[in-house]
Amino acid sequence: MKTLILASSSPRRQQLLKQVNIPFQVRIPNVDESAILATDPVEKVKQLAMMKAKHVPFHNENEVILAADTVVAFERTIFEKPKDKKEAYQMIAALSGNAHDVYTGVMIRSQDDERIFVERTQVVFWPLTQEEIEWYISTSDPYDKAGAYGIQSLGSMFVKEIAGDYYNVVGLPISRVVRELRDFSIYPNIS
């Protein structure tokens, strides 16, 4: 029997795995994400997912490790989690009325196999007023999310359209992850 280990403290990734009935344990990697200096969003999420997956040890041969990282990219500039209100304001103002890309890099590894892939979703924001942005950054919503917004929370009111996997924007392209996990003998529980 294989055991899935989620190498992430993200409550959103945990919720998505629960949503599809995949049992897992959490083992948080102790990594310095600032060590990854890639400026290309695809490279950055790949390298971060790999670093997280490889910093979580196997405790036995039946474990499968899943790690992921998500960034928002606007005009090839990576928007990570904002450090403060000023940075959150700048990010949301830049995204206002524009299309941006959300990339999630995923690494799945066992002791004898590993797989890495990147999923891309395009998101278009409505044009936002200064008042809307100031109201939003006064909430707690922007500060633990790449690009300073959560599509599954208050940030949803800014989204005009989306092309690609919605759950990728939340933080894990769950339908693709489920398909990839089959090759590692990890399946949703039948409830």
Closest CA relative to residue 42, chosen from 1, 71, 6, 84: 71
CB-CB contact of 97 with 126 (8 Å): yes
Known catalytic membership, residue 69: yes
Question: Across the strands, what pairs with 5?
Answer: 25, 65
Question: Across the strands, what pairs with 77?
Answer: 74
In the three-class reduction of DSSP (H, G, I as helix; E, B as strand; rest coil), residue 46 is classed as helix
78 φ/ψ angles, rounded to the nearest 5 degrees: -80, 130
* Catalytic residue, candidates 69, 101, 141, 165: 69
Q: Which two tokens stand for residue 61?
A: 């041969």
Closest CA relative to residue 65, chosen from 24, 15, 35: 24
Q: Which two tokens stand for residue 33?
A: 């994400």
Closest CA relative to residue 70, chosen from 121, 141, 108: 121
Indicate which residues carry an active-site annotation.
69
